[in-house]
Structure 1
Amino acid sequence: MQSDKNPPQKVAADATVTTLEAARLLGLAVRSVQLMVDRGELEAWKTPGGHRRISRTSVERWRQGERAGTASQSPAAALADHRSAPPPRTARNVPRVLLIEDSAHFQNLIKLLMGQQFPEVELLTASDGIAGLAMVGQYQPDVLMVDILLPGIDGAALITRLRAMPQFQAMQIIVVTSLDASQRAPYALALHDIAVVHKPQLVVELPALLGACLGKRVLPSP
């Protein structure tokens, strides 16, 4: 896919959209669309004047749940497929946490922290927003930990969708993000009343916060 390369010749005006228009069509934040372009997930180029234009066709593929020409569930379909299915449970009746995080480093770090502090808690992971949304519907976790900047659907949009559904009202949510307070401003409405952990403070802040959500005592650091 193209990413900020020279525009194809004779592109019709209605064949492209601006970054803001793409964000509105996809229900994502502008920053999330910019990241999708940077990763080559949306076809885009810059005009001679330096303005970014995104292929409307590539945006429509995402709206229809397709990624790079292969079928993938849309966010609505991801939840609908599992809405009526009973959530699978392990043999033990234990608390369940779902982590939606695309960084392998932070996935491993959180797994390590939970293994030390909450070894009896079941941890599930997803690496993109659409897969994570499907797993919320399938597994109905007690606590959802979610990054903001995710492939597929960003964490803020995911939270907004879940908040609109009565069956997820009791689920605790923790946002884990590399964005500082000023960078989180565009997501303020979606993050209202939700605990946020800045990734540089993750080791210090997450155990106590997760312990409060689970009603469990945090072990003292050695």
Structure 2
Amino acid sequence: MRLSQNFGSDEDALVERVYTTREAAKLLDVSLRTVQLWVEGGALSAWRTPGGHRRISAASIDAMLSARGNAKVSAAPRARVIGVLIVEDDKTLCRLYEATISSWGIPVRIEIAQDGFDALIRLGQGKPDIIIADINLPGMDGVTMLQKIRANPDYNDVEIIVVTGLDSEQIQRRGGLPEGVSTFLKPAPFALIQARIQEIADRKLHVAAAAS
């Protein structure tokens, strides 16, 4: 699906097609706030008109649709399956997270994002139950990413665990983490992570049983 098409005269062809935030949200099948997050994170190319209105490049929407394979992903995890988003650029550690978490016998759906921009995109595609994130990330760092996530009330119920090599003083120098974020020094505290994921699984099971 290509959105950037040229119509009319050669002069028209030189003008890049753009979309409003609302049009972009409809094309990408996400909320307005998700589009705003993607723009703020740099995942979508945009600028403001003299009147202060956002205009989003059709080319950047084309690129995102292509990357997503035009798939429309549910905004919520399936009942009883725990959505886990791991934001970590160390591929070896990512494999360790996947192997360890998958071995616990808890129904999970694990997604990996290796930078803050990718994490925001994945959040727009489907809200996880828990985010496990590093702070030292390429591009958008973990502090900025988590501040943007916590600024969106849609993600208030997402549990966030930070696993980092930075101490509290170093984190504060980067701007500090939002409230409600649990922070641990590396190596990853797998026993604690398992307990948190199991608690979420038990809670979802209880809700599903009550609804049946």
TM-score (normalised: structure 2): 0.56
User: 2:148 maps to what in 1?
Assistant: 161
Q: Show CA shifts across 1:113-167 (max 9, x none).
A: 2012244111111111101111011111111111111112111111111111121
Equivalent of 2:127, from 136, 140, 154?
Answer: 140
- Secondary structure, in 3 states, of the residue corresponding to 2:122? helix
- CA drift of 1:91 comes to 7.2
1:87 aligns with 2:64: no
Percent of matched pairs sharing the same residue = 26
Asked if 1 retains the 8 angstrom alpha-carbon contact of 2:163 and 2:186, the reply is yes
Q: 1:172 to 1:201 in 2, by over 3 A?
A: closer
User: 2:164 maps to what in 1?
Assistant: 177
Q: Please, which moves more after superposition, 162-171 or 182-191?
A: 182-191
- CA drift of 1:204 comes to 4.4
Q: Show CA shifts across 1:5-43 (max 9, x none).
A: xxxxxxxxxxxxxxxxxxxxxxxxxxxxxxxxxxxxxxx
- CA drift of 1:191 comes to 4.0
Give the gaps of 5 or more residues in structure 1: 1-62, 66-71, 217-222
User: 2:93 maps to what in 1?
Assistant: 106
CA separation in 1, counterparts of 2:125 and 2:167?
A: 31
Number of positions where the alignment pairs a residue of Structure 1 with one of Structure 2: 144
- CA drift of 1:212 comes to 3.6
* Aligned AA (2:89): D
- CA drift of 1:169 comes to 1.2
Matches within 5 A, 1:1-222: 65=42, 73=44, 87=74, 94-187=81-174, 189-215=176-202
* Aligned AA (1:179): L
Give the gaps of 5 or more residues in structure 2: 1-39, 47-53, 66-71, 204-212
* Aligned AA (1:115): S
Q: 1:203 to 1:186 in 2, by over 3 A?
A: same
CA separation in 2, counterparts of 1:197 and 1:99?
A: 15
CA separation in 2, counterparts of 1:132 and 1:142?
A: 14
User: 2:14 maps to what in 1?
Assistant: none
User: 1:18 maps to what in 2?
Assistant: none
The two structures, once aligned, show a CA RMSD in angstroms of 3.4
- CA drift of 1:87 comes to 2.3
Asked if 2 retains the 8 angstrom alpha-carbon contact of 1:147 and 1:177, the reply is yes
* Aligned AA (2:166): L
User: 2:35 maps to what in 1?
Assistant: none
